[in-house]
Amino acid sequence: MNKGLKGRAVRTSKRVAYLVPILLGVLFGVCSFVGVHGGTLEIRNIILYADVIFFAALFVIIFHSAIKLVKKIKRHPCNLDTPFDFCKHLKLDWSLKSVIVSWGIISICWIPYAIIFFPGTYWLDTSWQLVQFFDPNTPITDHHPFALTYLLGFFAVLGKSLLDNAVYGLYILVILQAAVSALSLASMTCYLTRFKVPWKIRFIVIAFFALFPFLPCLAMSLAKDTIATPLFVFFSIMFCEIWMTRGNVLASPLFDVLLIVDIVFASAVKKTGMYVIMLSLLLLAFIVKTWLMKAGVVAIALIPYLTVGLIAPTFIFPVLHIEPGENSEMLAVPMQQVANVVRNHPSSLSNKELDEIQEIYQQDTERLRGAYCWYVSDPIKGQRIPPEDVHKLGKLWLRQLLTHPTDMAAGWAGLSASWFSFAVASEDGAKQNSMVVLSGSSHHHPGVNQFMSWPDSTKGGQAFGKFYEQTLLTLPIAGVLFQKSLWASILPFFLIFVSVRSRSWWRMLILNMPIMVTLLTLVAGPTSAYGEAVRYVLPLVYTLPLFLCISLSLLEQGEPEQ
C-alpha cells in the first residue's frame, strides 16, 4: 500500500473511532433514563433523547480532548522519564529488585487496612460456601466454584486447629490474598518498562495502587473475585508479553508452565474468568507469528476449559459428590428481559407462552410479576433450567424482542444501569452508582453460626466505612474515581477508541481483548447496582492501568520493539 492510501486509511480509522464515544453516549443516555425512572424506558419522553444527545456529545469531547492532552504530554519524553528528586533511586524497572521494592511500598501502604478490617470482611457467598463445607446435610455445589469452597474450608479448619478460631484461619487467607494482590500490582507497574512507559507515569501508577483506598479495602474481604483478580493480573502481564513478542516468548518452557498454572487456578476459583481468559487467548492466536505458535496459543487457551469445564464435572464431581451449579446465572439477562414483558404486558402473552414461562421460571406469572426487581435478576432466577427449557426460553426471548423491543431493552438497561450511568435510584440506597466497600460481615448465611463464631463487625471497619461513603465518595473531582461507570464502561470504551485510531488497529484491539471481554461479562451479568457488583468490576480496576498505559504509549507509533 502506498503512502497516500495508507494515510487515507489512517484518517478514515480516526473518523470511524468517534463512533465509539457516540455508542457509549447512547448506552449512557438509555441507562441513565432507566436508572432514574424505575426501570422503565419511555420512548416518547423527550428527556430520553436529551440524555442520549448530551452524553454522546460529552464523550466525544472528552475522548477527543484526552487524545490531544496525551499527545501534548508525549512531546516532552525526557521530562516524563526523569525521576523526582525525592525518589530518584526508585527505578521501577522490569527487574526482581524493583518488583520487590514496589511490592514493599504497596504493602506498607496497605498495612493500616489490615488492622482496621481485622479479622477480615466476608461476603454472603463466602459464608454460604463455608456452610456447604461444614454441614454434612448441605451438599457442595459448583454454583460457586467447588475448588474455592474447599480452599475456604481448609483455612477455616487450619484456624480451628492452630488458633482455636476458624475466622483467624480465614484471616490468614485474607492476608495471603492481599500480599499476592500487592505483588501482582507491583509486577504490573514494573512491567510497563517493557513498553517504554516513562518513569513518572509508572510512579503515578504505583502511587494509585498504593493509595487508592478501594483496592486495599477489597483486598481485605474474601470472595471468589478477590482471590481470582491478582491471578488475572499475572495473566494480563503474560498476555501482553505474548502480544509484544508475537508469540516468541512461548518458546520458553518456564513461561508456558507459569501461564498454564496461573490460568488454571484463576479459572478454578472463578468460572467467569475462565471464559475471559479462553476467549482472549483464542483471539490472540490470530496475531502470533507461525502456525506452530498459533496452535500453541489455542492449546493453552483450551486447557482451563478442559480442566474446569470437562474433566472436573466428569471425574471429580462424582467422587466428591458435588452438585453442578445452576445454569440460570448465564441466562440472567434474557430471563430478566422476558420477565419484564410478563410484568408489563401479561395480557399480550398466549396461553402457550404463559405455560412455557411457568415451566422455565418454575413459578406462576403472578408470582413472577411480584418478584421482578428491575435492577437485579436474582428474585426471578436461581433454579437449574433443563436444556429443553433453555431452547424454549431462546424462542420466547426472540418473539418478545420482536413484539416488545422497548421492554426488552429496559430489562437489560436496568441490570446495567450502574455500568452506564452516574445515578441509579434503586430501593437499596443512594450509592448504587459508586464503588462502596464492605465494612463488616453481618450480611451472612445464618447457618454458618453453628460451625464458627462469625464476626459481624471488624476492628474499625464501620467507622472507616462511614468516612469512605460520607467523605471520599462525595469528593467533587476525585470522587469520579469511585464511580463504577468510570471503570466498567468509560475507560474500556476509551481503550477501544484509542485502538481503532491506531495504524495497527486490529493488533491494538487484540491487545485490549482481556478488558473488552471482561466488559462483555458485565453487560451480560445479573446486576450492576447491588453492593456485590463492585466485585465484578474489580478486575478492571486492577488491570486498566496496564492496558491504558501500554495503549497510550503506542499511540501514533509503529510496532513495539521486541
Q: Where are the domains of the chain?
A: 79-325+438-553, 327-405
| Cβ contact 56:439 at 8 Å | no
Q: Which helix (H) or strand (E) holds 121?
A: strand 121-122
pLDDT score at 556:
63
Q: Cell match 512461548: residue?
A: 250
Q: What is the DSSP string of 452-504?
A: S---SS-SSHHHHHHHHHHTGGG-TTGGGGGBHHIIIIIHHHHHHHHHHHSTT
Taking the CA of residue 509 as centre, how many other CA atoms within 13 Å lie in the half-sphere pointing to its CB? 13
Q: Which residues contact 178 (CB under 8 A, 6 or more apart)?
A: 107, 110, 114, 216, 219, 220
pLDDT score at 559:
47
d(CA 492, CA 27): 14
d(CA 289, CA 248): 8
Taking the CA of residue 128 as centre, how many other CA atoms within 13 Å lie in the half-sphere pointing to its CB? 12
Beta strands in 362-413 (DSSP E): none
Phi, psi of 21 (to 5 degrees): -65, -30
Helices (H), 192-344: 199-211, 214-219, 224-245, 253-269, 271-284, 291-304, 317-320, 332-344
Q: Which helix (H) or strand (E) holds 109?
A: helix 96-116
Report the greatest alpha carbon distance in the chain. 76
Per-residue tens of pLDDT for the chain, all 562 residues: 556 555 666 677 788 999 999 999 999 999 999 999 999 999 999 999 999 999 999 999 999 999 999 988 888 777 888 888 888 889 999 999 999 999 999 999 999 999 999 999 999 999 999 999 999 988 998 888 999 999 999 999 999 999 999 999 999 999 999 999 999 999 999 999 999 999 999 999 999 999 999 999 999 999 999 999 999 999 999 999 999 999 999 999 999 999 999 999 999 999 899 999 999 999 999 999 899 999 999 999 999 999 998 999 999 999 998 988 776 678 889 999 999 999 999 888 888 888 888 888 888 888 888 899 999 988 887 667 777 788 888 999 999 999 999 999 999 999 999 999 998 876 655 568 899 999 999 989 999 999 999 999 999 989 999 999 999 998 888 889 999 999 999 999 999 999 999 888 999 999 999 999 999 999 998 999 887 889 999 999 999 999 999 999 998 664 454 4
pLDDT score at 77:
75
Spell out the SS3 assignment of 188-214: HHHHHHHHCCCHHHHHHHHHHHHHCCH
SS3 446: helix
C-alpha cell at 473: 465518595
Taking the CA of residue 329 as centre, how many other CA atoms within 13 Å lie in the half-sphere pointing to its CB? 11
